[in-house]
Amino acid sequence: GQQVMQIPQYQHVQEGEDFTTYCNSSTTLSNIQWYKQRPGGHPVFLIQLVKSGEVKKQKRLTFQFGEAKKNSSLHITATQTTDVGTYFCAGPGEYGNKLVFGAGTILRVKS
Amino acid sequence: GAGVSQSPSNKVTEKGKDVELRCDPISGHTALYWYRQRLGQGLEFLIYFQGNSAPDKSGLPSDRFSAERTGESVSTLTIQRTQQEDSAVYLCASSLAGSILYEQYFGPGTRLTVT
């Protein structure tokens, strides 16, 4: 079935460094969503991208959807300790009837 | 307003026992999802309900797992004859409708430990 592959699996950065996680698909995605899960918490919706080449920003977070709508990225500028957690992308499943979540990228920030 | 609630928050059970997990979605949300998350892992889809349509059970790992939903409200996930590999956090999510364009709102989860 449809899968969204997410890399890296894990990243440990120094506070103030930038961080990027990537989500890739072998097929065109109609949309992609991003979620954040804090340690011990549950996933919380961050944003949805729908248009080819779309770029959206939320403070230090920048989300991009590729021109071919097969990949997406989340970039965090100048990470803070509050950014720690797991970031998941989610795209349509094989039959388009439900979202399929990537494996997630675990971000740890060292202060 | 009220979010998605799940109960119990924690459940410890002995191997071989049955357990029932409950999810109360946000009022008015027609779509409801169950996921399993093992420690340090991603979200494993289990089952999806959308309105009165037949549920998508494609993610249920074995016939020991079943779920029901009453109309567009409460859902219960039942695991029969629990095994140690069933130990995980079970997350429920709801969305306004079944379209993949709607964001999912997750509950706090039920942490299941099978001893």
List, for residues A47-92, the tens digit of each pLDDT value.
Answer: 999 999 999 999 999 999 999 999 999 999 999 999 999 999 999 8
Sign of the dihedral defined by the CA atoms of residues A88, A48, B28, B45, in that order: negative
Q: Do A42 and B106 touch (CB under 8 A)?
A: yes
Q: Is the peptide bond before A8 cis (omega within 30 degrees of 0)?
A: yes
Nearest to B103 among A33, A100, A103 (CB): A33
Measured CA to CA, the distance from residue B87 to residue A35 in angstroms comes to: 23
Percent of chain A with pLDDT over 70: 98
pLDDT higher than threshold 80 for residue B45: yes
| Residue B100, min C-alpha distance to chain A (Å) | 6
Q: Do B104 and A102 touch (CB under 8 A)?
A: no
Q: Which of these ranges, A52-66, A91-105, B59-73, has the smallest mean pLDDT? A: A91-105
Q: Which of these ranges, A33-47, A97-111, B80-94, has the smallest mean pLDDT? A: A97-111
Measured CA to CA, the distance from residue B20 to residue B66 in angstroms comes to: 10
pLDDT number for residue A79: 98
pLDDT higher than threshold 70 for residue A9: yes
| Residue A18, min C-alpha distance to chain B (Å) | 23
Give the tens place of pLDDT for each residue, B79-112.
Answer: 999 999 999 999 999 999 888 889 999 999 999 9
Measured CA to CA, the distance from residue B73 to residue B54 in angstroms comes to: 15
Fill in the amino acid letter for B3: G
pLDDT higher than threshold 60 for residue B38: yes
Nearest 10 degrees: CA dihedral of B105, B43, B5, A39? -90
| Residue B47 touches chain A, beta carbons under 8 Å | no
Per-residue confidence at A2, pLDDT binned at 50, 70, 90? low
Mean pLDDT on B30-54: 93
Measured CA to CA, the distance from residue A99 to residue B100 in angstroms comes to: 6
